[in-house]
Homo-oligomer: A and B are copies of this chain.
């Protein structure tokens, strides 16, 4: 270990001679704000959140006007109707966003919680206490509601938020961030606790990815391309979220009514999200009994089936599946279907092709259910339930900042405690180590 100051040196100062970039300046201000946020009482934070909700409602007209500019630009660029819909803000949607912020105010504050505490034989009293992470950077795509959602979750957990949305939503995000900052100021909190990076150039995002010492964690929210760009380029610690190639395995001892209901729900409830099922594995022993009926049900629901050879014997209208189908996160009304010979092949398939997000078995067999839950290495492993339940709200966490598909720090839906770190506090009476 060296005696050089290294990169820990002046976290506050810009590199000599160069004008300070927007990203660095805002990150530096966020770092200073984070020290104040970490010490705020729950009451102060909740009051600020309620002020933010009120301000978002009060500024609805301005926000909708700003959103109109984004929509107009997007239309001129010819973006898809689906994207336009995700981008659009209405008075009702803004009320929904404000309601979400108020819900965060109702959630328990994770900061200050004593995770565990014990006394050592030498009399030292050690406690592990939850503390904020510091500055949380969020790089996200299109949806402007993320601006308020993420800000609220960061604020409640005592973190400063550095938000970098996409260019498509820039005007909307600016209007929302301005309302949040005004509410922070009214509440006596630093405006810099929530900041939007307005530079939507790729280089600004890349600068965030390497701001070690100023940004404590980066959470990308969006498509696989965005997430992989952050994972590949960041030196700041990253929490990888969201890619879901989820499986349902219908075992030989499945209750086929449950199986059908679960498969249809997990594919068709809302197919564009990461916890939707993408591959159905059907045990060869129930292929004849299950495939024709699920084929009909899927067809009625408008789902395109891409099946292995054996699947196509029972579902003739299925297209032939190719190797890529087993890896695919369709996020569309498409389902890959494969017949497997027992639980070993099912687990091997999931381990090989899956994204370790959410995987389910349908079975009435006790030992098989136990094996599946032990051996499938995914963030959420289900027996006889839809993969759609992998969600902070459905788990009972209240809001979520994302669903982690990595193994470090947090795995699965991330609520407020996942936006904290801990520190050890040690009380002594002059103890020295012999």
Q: Which residues of A contact B (CB under 8 A)?
A: 1-9, 11-12, 35, 38-39, 118, 120, 124, 126, 128, 131, 133-134, 212, 216-217, 223-225, 228, 231-232, 235, 237-239, 242-245, 255, 257-258, 261-262, 265-266, 269, 274, 324, 327-331, 351-352, 355, 369, 373-375, 377-386, 388-390, 394-396, 406-409, 411-412, 421-433
Contacts and interface: CB of A to CB of B under 8 A. Distances in A.
A46 B270 CA distance: 47
Contacts of A328: 3, 5
B327 A5 contact: yes
Given A7-B228, A388-B433, 6 more contacts: A3-B329, A38-B377, A255-B430, A258-B429, A390-B424, A408-B409
Contacts of A245: 8
The 8 closest A-B pairs by CB, nearest first: A385-B428, A5-B327, A265-B432, A258-B430, A407-B421, A409-B409, A388-B433, A408-B409
Contact of A408 (B1, B239, B266, B369): B239
A374 B412 CA distance: 30
B389 A124 contact: yes
25 contacts: A1-B224, A1-B242, A1-B244, A1-B329, A2-B329, A5-B324, A6-B228, A12-B352, A35-B351, A35-B375, A231-B235, A237-B408, A258-B429, A262-B430, A265-B432, A373-B425, A381-B426, A382-B428, A383-B427, A384-B429, A389-B431, A389-B433, A395-B424, A407-B421, A408-B421
Contacts of A330: 3
B426 A422 contact: no
Nearest to A222: B1
Which of A11, A128, A431 has its CB near the most chain B CB atoms (within 10 A)?
A: A431
A378 to B, nearest CB: 6
Oligomer: number of copies: 2
Dominant SS among interface residues on chain A:
mixed
Given A224-B2, A237-B237, A408-B237, A120 B428 contact: no
A7 B327 CA distance: 10
A57 to B, nearest CB: 28
Contacts of A224: 1-2, 4, 6
B424 A394 contact: no
A376 to B, nearest CB: 9
Nearest to A381: B425
Contacts of A388: 432-433
B394 A433 contact: yes
B385 A431 contact: yes
A195 to B, nearest CB: 20
A38 B347 CA distance: 14
A425 B223 CA distance: 26
A356 to B, nearest CB: 9
Given A2-B223, A217-B407, A432 B327 contact: no
Contacts of A128: 412
Contacts of A8: 243, 245, 327, 355
Contact of A235 (B9, B216, B232, B242): B232
Contact of A395 (B126, B274, B431): B126
A1 B427 CA distance: 49
Given A2-B223, A384-B428, A118 B396 contact: yes
A338 B11 CA distance: 21
A216 B407 CA distance: 7
Nearest to A324: B5
A426 B380 contact: yes
A140 B352 CA distance: 31
B2 A262 contact: no
B408 A412 contact: no
A224 B411 CA distance: 29
A39 B375 contact: yes
Contacts of A237: 237-238, 406-408
A243 B124 CA distance: 24
A373 B382 CA distance: 42
A119 to B, nearest CB: 10
A384 to B, nearest CB: 5
